[in-house]
A and B are shown apart, each in its own frame.
Chain A
Amino acid sequence: QAGLTQPPSVSEALRQTATLTCTGNSDNVGYQGAAWLQQHQGHPPKLLSDRNNNRPSGISERFSTSRSGSTASLTIIGLQPDDEADYYCSAWDRSLSALAFGGGTRLTVL
C-alpha cells in the first residue's frame, strides 16, 4: 500500500522554527503535492494546508508549506505551546488509487 515517510518526532524550542518533512514518490507527493493535518491528543485532525499549499480560513500564517519534487515540507515559525501536536501529511496516489498518509510526526515544543 501507499505510504508517505515522516520523521516520528521533532523537538524545537518555544518561539523557534520547526520544519517537518513528508517524502513520497512521483505517483503521490510528486504528482499533486501533499496536504497537512494537525491533530491534538483526543481531537480529530484539522486541515492546515491543502495539496496546493492553501491554508483554510482561520489557520495561522505561522504555518507554511512547500514542495520540492516528491518531498513536502511544513514550516511553523514562532512556535507556541499549542503547536505541540501530531502532524500528518496525505496525498492521493494515482498508481494505487489510494489515499496515502504519513506515519505522523509528533512535535514537541520545548
Chain B
Amino acid sequence: EVQLLESGGGLVQPGGSLRLSCVASGFNFSSDYMTWVRQAPGKGLEWVANIKYDGSEKYYDDSVKGRFTISRDNAKNSLSLQMNSLRVEDTAVYYCAKGVGVSWGRGTLVTVSS
C-alpha cells in the first residue's frame, strides 16, 4: 500500500523559511516523479512543483519559482520542499503526491502570518 507522510508545517512569519518533508513507502520511490500540491483554506488545488525520479529535472509554478526548492533523497525515500521568503499567500495545506497525483499524503498545514 502506498503511503506518503508529510511533516514540517507550522506557523511562520512573512519572509521566513520552512522545510517540508515527505516520507514514502509501499512503492519504488526512485522510479516515480514526485509532486507538491497546495490548497489554500477554502480554495482549490494548486500545483507547486515536481521532480523527476532521479532529480535531474525540476519544475515550479511561477508563484514559487526562485523561492521554493524541491529535492529528493532516493536512498531515504524522501521528498523535500525548502520554502524561503514565505508570503501570506503561501498559507495552505501542502500535499505530497506520487507521480502527478496518483496517490496523496494527508498534507501538512503551513501558515504564514505575523
Contacts and interface: CB of A to CB of B under 8 A. Distances in A.
A90 B100 contact: yes
A88 B107 CA distance: 17
Interface residues of B, number: 20
Contacts of B101: 35, 37, 45, 47, 90, 99
Contacts of B100: 35, 90, 92, 99
B8 to A, nearest CB: 16
Contact of A104 (B45, B61, B63, B104): B45
Nearest to B106: A44
Interface string A72-110: 000000000000001010101000011111111000000
Interface string A34-64: 0101010000111100100000100000000
B102 interface: yes
Output the residue of A37, A47, A99, A103 with the most chain B CB within 10 A: A99
Contacts of A99: 35, 37, 47, 50, 59, 100-101
B89 interface: no
B26 interface: no
Interface of B: 35, 37, 44-47, 50, 59, 61-63, 95, 100-107
